[in-house]
């Protein structure tokens, strides 16, 4: 089965000889894997494909075949080199960051994505939210184009699929995703090597940072909230990256019988970034909004002024209010 818009995309790509491929800023495994897979597919058909990204390829994806060929933003004056621009995994062209101007200058734009919501104004907009990953759509696109399913292409696609499904554990893990994975492994992709690169290979400093946060995690509000924090000192002592703090919220939400996980992280400009995750029907976006932030029902955040010691009381008060004075909420 080829989805109708993917067939449309294949027709536009088939007409192009030199293609620009891009994806969103701060790319994840689906973004990088999809972009590389498509470029392998296009090159297999004798076309030229250039992947342009604002940000450098993050370390976990530097095992993917072809990652070194990804180039930083080209001047808009280079747009004439390309017949078609393909924008992957972006809900809106502006998600391509500094590459957006070049994409618009190419003019003939194909968008392929699985995020719901508003998109750009490409001549083909192939958005299928039911797809587990953009990689699933790129697989179909490569098939429609008749690109040979090489080990390189299969490795990049399985990486995208594995990353976006959290290792085939998230709710977007469908029968179709497993079917696709089966075909990719049969084509030579190595799932163990991919998983090791995506989920293993952690910088030791990150683990030490996560350990500090886990060691001081507390249960609050009758055990309905698990909360922890990281101070500026924690980053100084461990030498961990600021971005490493993002793992802590996922560590905390592994706790059974909680309704909300909360992490406060001090920033370099005297604020605290708060991350909230709901494991119940509690809407953490509403909690975040009451504190000047926002987000999704199950995942939200805000910034509060001051140190952890100063920011924690208003956060706990907001959570207490949302959970209700009767001591019960959701399940």
Give the residues lining the site for Mn ion (CB under 5 A).
Answer: 30, 89, 134, 164
- Greatest alpha-carbon span in the chain: 67
Residue 74 beta carbon to Mn ion: minimum distance, rounded to whole angstroms: 24
Q: What is the CA radius of gyration of the chain?
A: 22
- Closest CB 323 distance from Mn ion, rounded Å: 32
Query: How many other C-beta atoms lie within 10 A of the C-beta of residue 207?
Result: 14
Tell the smallest beta-carbon distance from residue 134 to Mn ion (Å). 5
For Mn ion, give the closer residue by CB, 83 or 91: 91
- Residue number with CB closer to Mn ion (30 or 152): 30
Please give the helix or strand (H or E) that residue 243 lies within, else none. Answer: none
Residue nearer to Mn ion on the CB measure, 164 or 266: 164
Q: How far is the CB of 274 from Mn ion (least distance, A)?
A: 25
234 φ/ψ angles, rounded to the nearest 5 degrees: -60, -40
- Residue 13 in contact with residue 106, Cβ under 8 Å? no
Q: How far is the CB of 164 from Mn ion (least distance, A)?
A: 5
Q: Rounded CA gap, 244 and 262, in Å?
A: 16
Beta strands 271-278 and 294-295: pairing type?
unpaired
Nearer of residues 112 and 322 to Mn ion, judged by Cβ: 112
Of 24 and 212, the one with the shorter C-beta distance to Mn ion is 24
Q: Are 244 and 209 in contact (CB under 8 A)?
A: yes
**Residue closest to Mn ion, measured at CB:** 30
């Amino acid at each position: 089965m080829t989805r109708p818009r993917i067939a449309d995309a294949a027709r536009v790509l088939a007409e192009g000889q030199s293609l620009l491929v891009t994806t969103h800023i701060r790319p994840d495994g689906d973004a990088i894997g999809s972009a590389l897979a498509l470029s392998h597919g296009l090159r297999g058909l004798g076309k030229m494909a250039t992947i342009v990204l604002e940000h450098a390829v993050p370390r976990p994806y530097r095992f993917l075949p072809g990652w070194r060929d990804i180039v930083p933003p080209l001047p808009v004056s280079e747009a004439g080199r390309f017949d078609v621009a393909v924008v992957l995994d972006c809900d809106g062209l502006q998600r391509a960051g500094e590459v957006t101007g070049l994409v618009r200058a190419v003019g003939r734009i194909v968008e392929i994505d699985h995020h719901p919501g508003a998109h750009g104004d490409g001549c083909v907009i192939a958005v299928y939210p039911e797809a587990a990953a953009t990689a699933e759509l790129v697989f179909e696109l490569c098939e429609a184009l008749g690109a040979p399913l090489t080990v390189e292409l299969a490795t990049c696609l399985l990486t995208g699929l594995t990353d976006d499904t959290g290792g085939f554990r998230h709710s977007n893990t469908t029968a179709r995703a497993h079917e696709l994975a089966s075909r990719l492994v049969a084509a030579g992709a190595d799932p163990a090597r991919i998983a090791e690169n995506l989920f293993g290979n952690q910088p030791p400093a990150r683990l030490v940072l996560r350990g500090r946060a886990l060691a001081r995690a507390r249960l609050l509000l009758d055990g309905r909230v698990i909360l922890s924090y990281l101070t500026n000192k924690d980053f100084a002592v461990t030498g961990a990256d600021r971005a490493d703090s993002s793992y802590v919220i996922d560590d905390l939400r592994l706790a059974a019988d909680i309704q909300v996980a909360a992490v406060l992280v001090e920033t370099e400009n005297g604020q605290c970034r708060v991350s909230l995750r709901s494991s119940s029907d509690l809407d953490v976006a509403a909690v975040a909004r009451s504190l000047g932030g926002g987000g999704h029902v199950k995942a939200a955040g805000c910034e509060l002024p001051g140190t952890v010691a100063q920011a924690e009381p208003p956060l706990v008060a907001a959570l207490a209010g949302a959970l209700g004075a009767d001591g019960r909420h959701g399940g």
